[in-house]
């Protein structure tokens, strides 16, 4: 059964364009999305409405991994990303949905994330913890302004 819903809100000192790209470029998402202690392999990412993605997270300490994937449902450049998500593990049933909203503000971008349908066996607070770690890494990727 899927019951958990996660709501996150951040303001990042970066443009909506940079954050949008960080969600849709394979090398970028592999760098920031896995929580602390995990690595990420993007198996494929076809970022257009109706396109799919597949990736896996590997626990660096144990070597165990879990894979997941889904479909892009809505892409509004630099404003919104909606996608579905499903774990390959049958013990983590159901389909999740995530909505990423970006809004320019005076000091950068307001980022709102809603993830719905988290499998019941995953504690919601663990999802919050993982997302918080990921968002720290996202900020470290998108906020620096490094000259060529």
Task: Kindly state whether residue 131 falls inside one of the protein's structural domains.
Answer: yes
Structural domains of the chain, count: 1
Task: Kindly state whether residue 147 falls inside one of the protein's structural domains.
Answer: no
**The predicted structure's pLDDT at residue 94:** 86
Task: Kindly state whether residue 55 falls inside one of the protein's structural domains.
Answer: yes
Q: pLDDT tens per residue, the chain (148 residues)? A: 457 899 999 999 999 999 999 999 999 999 999 999 999 999 999 999 999 999 999 999 999 999 999 999 999 999 999 999 999 998 888 899 999 999 999 999 999 999 999 988 889 999 999 999 999 999 999 999 999 8
Do 27 and 41 contact (CB within 8 A), yes or no?
Answer: no
- Print the domain residue range for 19: 2-142
Phi-psi category of 63—alpha, beta or left, where left has phi over 0 and alpha has psi -120 to 50?
left
**The predicted structure's pLDDT at residue 120:** 86
Task: Kindly state whether residue 56 falls inside one of the protein's structural domains.
Answer: yes
């Amino acid at each position: 059964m899927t019951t958990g819903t996660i709501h996150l809100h951040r303001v990042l000192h970066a443009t909506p364009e940079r954050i949008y790209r960080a969600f849709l470029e394979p090398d970028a998402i592999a760098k920031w999305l896995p929580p602390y202690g995990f690595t990420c392999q993007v198996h494929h990412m076809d970022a257009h409405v109706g396109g799919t993605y597949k990736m896996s997270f590997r626990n660096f300490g144990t070597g165990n991994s879990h894979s997941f994937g889904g479909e892009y449902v809505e892409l509004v450049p630099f404003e919104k990303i909606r996608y579905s998500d499903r774990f390959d593990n049958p013990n983590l049933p159901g389909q999740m949905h995530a909505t990423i909203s970006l809004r320019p503000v005076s000091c950068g971008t307001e980022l709102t994330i809603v993830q719905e349908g988290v499998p019941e066996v995953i504690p919601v607070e663990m999802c919050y913890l993982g997302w918080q770690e990921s968002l720290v890494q996202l900020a470290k990727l998108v906020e620096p302004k490094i000259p060529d």
